[in-house]
Structure 1
């Protein structure tokens, strides 16, 4: 019995030490105490104690005396590690080193410090920023008619262009000291979101100069002379910028760029100067057709060492600013993507520019890729996520209204369970999008989080695709019939643009999120690689044994938390959110363990197993998304309606995490590792299921009702366009319904029972009043409601001349009235 108890105590003690992540010295002391206890209890004899003691002391000295450990154990491992370490190009290194790690690193390391999340402060809008949203953004939206922009004009109206320039919409990120607005990332995100709820073309026009482009590059890297030359024009709108990176042969892989600049002497403004002869062909360049200055990325070559380094001829990707009217530069023909924003081609043959036109001057030659990667956070973390959020907010507000007004089989379609599947998703996704928007934009205000912004770009644009599709399904014919009444079609057509740009989503998911996250966010991997590159054995030794302890701890933690249903995990709060925080910690530990085992077993091969790395990336992404949702709920009013949306979003995240782990483990190529990972991650099986029908139905019901969440999730939707605006028409109907719906439902029930005479609504209402079944006031309210109801479900039709391009053939009022005239009941 004594031996059994001792064994049990020893196992539990070892388990506790591993779970807590005890250091090597504590383990050494614990094993020494165990040996002494075994001897003292008479469980081992003198000879066995002497042999075990000798082995123990030898191993203890070998592991704890670092010079001895380095010489005997670490040095051979170090040699093997350097040989198997995959080659890393300079481009890959620059991408890895660019930007900062942030909250995603906590989730990746398996033991998140929840206080960092709880204490993190969202960036509050300043009074100036709020005023800009409430006034300038409102006025700009009123200047734009999305139908005319997309179908007739294929461009913003001149007055909108003028207003954009006048009010410095293109200079939100330029600091006030240079005359710009100096807005926070959160404010820029809110502006783009609001504009996109009115017109995607308008939003894209504004967001591009405020994300990856000459303005941001000049702010970070430009010389004083370049800032003095270009920033005033970029601020007042007299200069319109574009940035040429993508070309026929280069998309996501910038290293394939064939565009070339060769250093040499040439003539500029009548003088012989050191410069660069450029040959380039760019496409998909937003604002190119109207640009006055072109930011240009190209590979730089200096065959004669004229830049000062005779040993170096290939400098790599370099960025320069070139006036659009510079000799040899050709602004090409327009592309026409899913929306009417300006997008086109730029070409140049034997274009000579001075070396001083390199952004940052000659000293920044060859550093263009690093510059671009470091500045990508604006596009990935602000602009494109804002488009996704705009789709979510619009779909939430408009689908809710439509689902309430539109009736089939005498019931509001929003009450049909089949429809609720879609509207519940819309509600959950919209909540997720706004939570991610404010969290990620606020992060960009604090640092330059490269992995987080990649997560946001990929998942928020994918959610945009899903939410727009669900909205189209619910509104059916209302959504597919294009015209001045349609507020969904442009988003549906333009969604693939957001999916494609700033790193195509397929690449972002399969290569970037885990590929960059695993190295940058891991506590040991990147430092180990750097130690190997610098041939620093002492540093590698310390990291290696720290890494071993880390892996053991995370494996034990993941297994234990899985075995106990995460009850031993920590939560920073009590109440409704506590189980979600504990599950997140459990999966965080599982991710850390699986990542370590995967990198250890597959090594450099993992780089080419994109499906596997994508699934681990999905785990990391969903952990971040769940963190955003939990934080957003805790920062909000915590009402019952809010809780329903948060539960939907968090249940969905946890299901996606478990599903990604399951797919990863099932497809892992090494059998024994599959077994180990399944045991550690799902010791009792996978208990995580899709969002329940009950939770989904609760959100689907709420989307039909006026409540605090509806306003919080759609606060940026432009609603003041009036009754002839597609969203404004729905807003007007919604407001009418708050006063008149009760009377209309009374009439509706009477009519459905067959108690009212007449073939039209007017006839039946007259009969109801005559017979005393309704008062005159009730009848008037029902009539008002029915008129706006019909407006909500109406679609547009056109003459064949108008459709053929003769836009003078019909006035807007004629198009609008056509649907009303078609009414027969």
Structure 2
């Protein structure tokens, strides 16, 4: 009987923590239970004494805040400050960039499914559907992926069609001559084009992703918007954006490209501007661009603008016919035909007006990039990955029906069925994730962590689908020619793994590294307090956060126990009889993930090498 009392006590405490009951009422409930246990259970006195001592030890820090701050929170605050790795302003901008949407619920240990299910369903407008059914279908019909590969370019009529029908202007508002489409429509167009040709999709999606148009919309001056956006919408200007260089890829903050504040001659007059020197590579649309967006580090050694010399990363728009700009050479990215190449500049002088946003945005380029990157990364590459999954699902299913071995269709073999099941399952999951994230962007979010999750998983799963399709097709997928509809997709798959943040670094640094900080309800606030100058006030605020953080971790530990014991089956779950089991499984996994993420950050702290070794597991959880 005594064992039953103890079991009820343990399960009851776990249930109170799982339900996140406030500490004081929970302690009161436990105290009442201990009184009842002492009266009715005939428990030995020494056991009751131990239980009351444990209860008092838990209650004392809650009831005596001054004592708690002095002997617990203050040492923890000192440890936290020493453990926290140094963070540059560039790293801080990257962490603070974008917004946290529903993805934060996954790190909470208790996702709010009702909130997720209440979001409106994505839907195309009549105009967007007409564009997809008309100009987009027509563009797909006028190109052959094989012929594009042979000519190493889109056919002239495709270029003309792209410009005439505003494919470069999907994100540009209508007042500037653009389409003003939703993120979902943008995603649908990119996905449709990707099923026809990866080169075609790349050509169209880059101007609608991170680049001059996106940056002008958010940060450009009125004069810059009025001048450039209509030209970009009409296709009079073809844009590219130069960020990556020989020495700086994913670590864009290490770029050696410079812009020095100086006086120079522009259109016959002495003008205050920048003397630029840069070398960039891997720039999509670079060989045919007429408008170059450039990222560089600005310096003012002569103090022409003020006392500060190192002004930070800045962004400028430069016509490619500006003296000193070298552009036009091409790379050959795994034989893909989309325009990609290097560019460089030697002592190129531009007025300060060429800075995106003008002089007011000088030195704010990294913040601008980080805030805009998440939107494009939420749309373009996930659409391409999903397009690959859908295309391979279609052609592999058809091929497996008509191709026979041993007088039996391939689709009858269990090994083939396994590969087809993986393709179909991935296609379904990828499309759901793509639509959900596009919906977030349409709701005004800039989901930095969610976009990294999507870019990583959808490009990786797209590559996996192509790999399975190649396995099923065998020699049909290997021998190149106009009837091989898989070979060039197989060749180009690594490209999408690499661009807009290499997947290995996205997995380690962004999905878990940034995600654990941004999506956690307390860590980012605690980090901000660690650098607060007013240490006394910082300790008071840290103490309150720490108390909540400990309760959060204990709650997730209790939820992991309770839900894995099957007690979560008695809780309400959304959906119907078919889906409720999946929601409950996700609840169990979310609680375990939140607990392990907290333990990982606590145990590894600032040990980045150890952290990087563990992060792949968390990022792919």
Partner of 1:592: 594
Partner of 1:582: 584
Partner of 1:280: 278
Partner of 1:18: 17
Q: CA separation of 1:290/1:48 partners in 2, compared to 1, >3 Å: closer, same or farther?
A: closer
Distance of 1:499 and 1:330 partners within structure 2: 28
TM normalised by structure 2 equals 0.94
Q: CA separation of 1:145/1:589 partners in 2, compared to 1, >3 Å: closer, same or farther?
A: same
Q: Give the secondary-structure state (helix, strand or coil) at the position aligned to 2:569.
A: coil
CA contact (8 A) 1:109 1:523 kept: yes
Deviations 1:706-760 (A, max 9, x none): xxxxxxxxxxxxxxxxxxxxxxxxxxxxxxxxxxxxxxxxxxxxxxxxxxxxxxx
Q: CA separation of 1:59/1:142 partners in 2, compared to 1, >3 Å: closer, same or farther?
A: closer
> Does residue 1:330 correspond to 2:329, yes or no?
no
Runs (5+) with no aligned partner, structure 2: none
Partner of 2:369: 372
Partner of 2:78: 79
Cα displacement (A) at 1:68: 4.6
Runs (5+) with no aligned partner, structure 1: 620-825
Cα displacement (A) at 1:64: 2.8
Partner of 1:139: 138
Deviations 1:551-582 (A, max 9, x none): 11111111222232853565212211111111
Q: Give the secondary-structure state (helix, strand or coil) at the position aligned to 2:15.
A: helix
Q: Give the secondary-structure state (helix, strand or coil) at the position aligned to 2:271.
A: strand
CA contact (8 A) 1:248 1:283 kept: yes
> Does residue 1:213 correspond to 2:215, yes or no?
no
Selected match of 1:407 from 384, 401, 404: 404
CA contact (8 A) 2:184 2:435 kept: yes
How many residue pairs get matched?
615
Partner of 2:224: 226
Distance of 1:298 and 1:219 partners within structure 2: 20
Partner of 1:313: 309
CA contact (8 A) 2:257 2:296 kept: yes
> Does residue 1:602 correspond to 2:600, yes or no?
no
Distance of 1:420 and 1:538 partners within structure 2: 60
Q: CA separation of 1:132/1:36 partners in 2, compared to 1, >3 Å: closer, same or farther?
A: same
Cα displacement (A) at 1:522: 0.8
Distance of 2:422 and 2:51 partners within structure 1: 62
Distance of 1:519 and 1:469 partners within structure 2: 34
Q: Give the secondary-structure state (helix, strand or coil) at the position aligned to 1:567.
A: helix
Deviations 1:395-423 (A, max 9, x none): 11111111111122212122122222222
Q: Give the secondary-structure state (helix, strand or coil) at the position aligned to 1:604.
A: coil
Partner of 2:414: 417
Q: CA separation of 1:294/1:597 partners in 2, compared to 1, >3 Å: closer, same or farther?
A: same
Q: CA separation of 1:96/1:422 partners in 2, compared to 1, >3 Å: closer, same or farther?
A: same
Partner of 1:358: 355
Deviations 1:29-72 (A, max 9, x none): 23443454466569699999999989967864542344453344
Q: CA separation of 1:473/1:60 partners in 2, compared to 1, >3 Å: closer, same or farther?
A: closer
Q: CA separation of 1:289/1:37 partners in 2, compared to 1, >3 Å: closer, same or farther?
A: same
CA contact (8 A) 1:240 1:292 kept: yes
> What is the alpha-carbon root mean square deviation over aligned residues?
2.3
Distance of 1:501 and 1:49 partners within structure 2: 63
Cα displacement (A) at 1:96: 0.8
**Where does 1:37-48 land on structure 2 (aligned, <5 Å)?**
37=36
Rg comparison, structure with higher value = 1
Q: CA separation of 1:570/1:531 partners in 2, compared to 1, >3 Å: closer, same or farther?
A: farther
Q: Give the secondary-structure state (helix, strand or coil) at the position aligned to 2:122.
A: coil
Q: Give the secondary-structure state (helix, strand or coil) at the position aligned to 2:280.
A: strand
Distance of 1:56 and 1:513 partners within structure 2: 39
CA contact (8 A) 1:172 1:181 kept: yes
Q: CA separation of 1:55/1:517 partners in 2, compared to 1, >3 Å: closer, same or farther?
A: closer
Distance of 1:83 and 1:413 partners within structure 2: 61
Distance of 1:577 and 1:206 partners within structure 2: 38
Cα displacement (A) at 1:142: 2.0
Selected match of 1:436 from 433, 436, 444: 433
Distance of 2:69 and 2:497 partners within structure 1: 49
Selected match of 2:175 from 177, 196, 203: 177
**Where does 1:650-689 land on structure 2 (aligned, <5 Å)?**
none
Deviations 1:617-651 (A, max 9, x none): 111xxxxxxxxxxxxxxxxxxxxxxxxxxxxxxxx
Selected match of 1:475 from 441, 458, 473: 473
Q: Give the secondary-structure state (helix, strand or coil) at the position aligned to 2:488.
A: helix
Distance of 2:481 and 2:3 partners within structure 1: 80
Cα displacement (A) at 1:469: 1.4
Selected match of 1:544 from 535, 543, 546: 546
Distance of 1:200 and 1:51 partners within structure 2: 68
